[in-house]
Amino acid sequence: MFVEPNFENISYTNSARRGWVEVICGSMFSGKTEELIRRINRAKIAGQKFQIFKPEMDTRYHDENVVSHNSNFLPGIPVASASQILSLSENFDVIAIDEIQFFDGGIVNVINELANNGKRVIVAGLDMDFLGNPFGCMPQIMAIAEFVTKVHAICVVCGNPASYSFRLNPNNSKILIGETENYQARCRKCFLDGMKNNVD
């Protein structure tokens, strides 16, 4: 069982600053962004300076805000590439990055550099693509993280815990940004059943 450390009580004095990486991963509709927002709100209460980033391509709910499926949000900065995050993070204690799987390969080095410089880095994203394969740089990011939390949705077919994002749209592009019109959360069995039916 995951027990979240009491990050809010850690001192961020220049003489004793410690950085680390937290990953929140799971399928579509599992509450990844909701959990990221919850952690940032707690950091805000603790008086820590924070900044949130998201990929420029993610405009589903808002051009700038980071928004969860149940409409909670915090203001964010959309960026076109991972390298932009470094220059925009200098004056903050906590850096949050949503939809991490959509960033270019340089995001791993960016996250490492931020943590090495004493920042708390919280990232959220899909760990698997619509084929059930590891998504982008997520495996590398999970490997360098101090803390990894996997959250689960509810399978829309059978009601069991879901960890797969089943694509309803026949589009085979690896990246297809969408919501319930394009995706369903499914458990392993219902995901495999759906993939088999798509092939038959």
Judge whether 191 lies within some domain.
no
> What would you report as the CA-atom Rg of the chain, rounded to the nearest whole angstrom?
17
**pLDDT value at position 74?**
84
CA atoms 27, 31, 32, 33: torsion sign: positive
pTM: 0.85
Judge whether 123 lies within some domain.
yes
Judge whether 5 lies within some domain.
no
8 Å CB contact between 92 and 98: no
CA 98-29-194 angle, to 5 degrees, is 125
State the CATH number of the domain containing residue 59.
3.40.50.300
What is the rounded CA–CA span in Å between residue 21 and residue 5? 12
Judge whether 122 lies within some domain.
yes
**pLDDT value at position 15?**
40
Read off the amino acid at residue 191: F
The number of folded domains in the chain is: 1
**pLDDT value at position 171?**
74
**pLDDT value at position 13?**
46
8 Å CB contact between 34 and 133: no
Active site residue 56: no
**pLDDT value at position 173?**
76
8 Å CB contact between 21 and 147: yes
- Range list of H helices, the chain: 32-45, 83-87, 107-116, 138-144, 188-199
Mean pLDDT, consecutive 10-residue stretches, the chain (200 aa), reads 50 63 96 93 94 80 55 80 93 95 93 97 96 95 97 97 94 70 94 86
The set of residues, in sequence order, having a beta carbon less than 8 Å from that of 26 and lying 6+ positions away, is 32, 126, 127, 150, 151, 152, 153, 163
Q: Strand pairing of 183-186 and 164-167?
A: antiparallel
Alpha carbons within 13 angstroms on the beta-carbon side of residue 103 total: 28
**pLDDT value at position 38?**
93
**pLDDT value at position 75?**
81
Judge whether 190 lies within some domain.
no
**Candidate list 90, 99, 146, 181, residue with the active-site label:** 99
The two three-digit tokens of residue 137, written as one number = 């740089």
**pLDDT value at position 106?**
94
**pLDDT value at position 88?**
94
Structural domain for 73, as ranges: 17-152
8 Å CB contact between 97 and 124: yes
Taking Cα atoms as reference points, which of 106, 105, 117, 101 lies closest to residue 54?
101
Read off the amino acid at residue 104: D
